[in-house]
Amino acid sequence: MTTNNDGGAPWPFFRHNLQRTGSSAGTGPANPTVRWSVHLGGYVRSSPVIGSGGVVYAGSWDHQLHAVGTDGAVIWSAPAFDHIVGAAAVAPSGSIYVGSYDYNLYAFDPLGELKWSMRAGSFIHTAPAIGADGTIYLGVDDGLLYAVDPDSGEPRWVFKTGGRIRSSPAIGSDGTVYTSSWDGFLHAVDPIRGEEKWRGQISVPVFSAPKAGIAGTIQSSSAIGGNGLVYAGSWDGYLHALNAENGDLRWSFRTEGPVMASPAIGLDGTVYVGCDDQSFYAVNGDDGGMKWKFAAGGRIRSSAAVSSDGTVYVGCNDGHLYALNAATGEQVWDLEIGKPILSSPAIGADRVLYVGAEDGNLYAIG
């Protein structure tokens, strides 16, 4: 069972779904060309999400959330008051939620009008998750995980970790909320009471979703597999698999550099992740054995997207977007954007990929 809460949108959340698998029923282009690009006023490190009707939402360092149509025209731009780095989340109702460096979580209606804002206690680097009942879950740089009422914007509960949160929360099929922190732990939190169910140490600290940063830093967001395991990367160079029920460590896979990107999970359970060692790995999800390794031309901090036809798409700091055969790791194609890609690609309708880059552009590749 999965907890999608997607309202039928093609890619409404960071990593496509609330399990943060990065896997989609859609497919990308076979022969890629840039259909269009639109300049959004500053670095586009915020990963694009796609709502109903194909509208693409992306934040920028220009302090705005932008809604862009399938033709590349900007429909509206809604102000925050500092950089937007984390991806937005699109609710089934059409409301859009996004955090900013100005400490605020914003809720906008489909026309870009502000519904409410909630002030947190520090920078927001992460993407919100939306539970089955509409509750919004958000990690903040002061180490707090918030559960927020979608109508009022008031916190329902706040859970404190022991370090910064720069990984986006994932939601399991039973509603459990998983978040990692720079305290080096992956935390499983009860969605109703906001109480910790368990914590599993995965670093000495972490920086992905759930994965992390400096020494014990985790910045990579966790991904939840269908086999009862939760996967997270860490700054100390490991990809970890933990039991989703109790937090027991199942295995750890060693890379040669910090794992800042979030893992993706293919339909067959293979786990894919990029690394600062300029490599992209495919790992057996059950036992942690390496299936293949692809050498890129720069650090990989973009989190991969996996299509239903067995292609993996990932951006790289060398300014290239790579398409790889998911089974073999062979390069299918390579499109040069020219500037580093820290944003993670989203798979839209009609075989179009959307991704942001450090040149300030949002690209549609079809």
Whether 5 has a pLDDT exceeding 80, the answer reads: no
Binned at pLDDT 50, 70 and 90, residue 216 comes out as: low
Give per-residue pLDDT as tens, 254-312. Answer: 999 999 999 999 999 999 999 999 999 999 999 999 999 999 999 999 999 999 999 99
- Domains (range + CATH), the chain: 34-365 (2.130.10.10)
Q: Most distant CA pair in the chain: distance in Å?
A: 49
CA distance 198 to 180: 12
Cβ 316 vs Cβ 295: under 8 Å: no
Burial letters for 171-205: b for 16+ Cβ neighbours within 10 Å, e otherwise?
bbeebbbbbbbbbbbbbbbbbeebebbbbbbbbeb
* CA 176, chain centre distance (Å): 18
Q: Which of 265, 361, 272 is nearest to 314 (CA)?
A: 272
Give per-residue pLDDT as tens, 127-171. Answer: 999 999 999 999 999 999 999 999 999 999 999 999 999 999 999
Tokens 């990963």 identify what position?
47
Percent of the chain with pLDDT over 70: 94
Give per-residue pLDDT as tens, 316-327. Answer: 999 999 999 999
Please state the rounded mean pLDDT for residues 231-240.
94
Count CB atoms within 10 A of the CB of residue 325. Answer: 15
Task: Characterize the bridge pairing of strands 129-130 and 217-220.
Answer: unpaired
Local structure of residue 52 (DSSP, 8 states): G
Percent of the chain with pLDDT over 90: 92
pLDDT at position 4, please? 61
The rounded mean pLDDT for the chain is 95
Give per-residue pLDDT as tens, 44-84. Answer: 999 999 999 999 999 999 999 999 999 999 999 999 999 99
Count CB atoms within 10 A of the CB of residue 230. Answer: 29
User: pTM for the whole thing?
Assistant: 0.95
Cβ 316 vs Cβ 324: under 8 Å: no
CA distance 108 to 226: 33
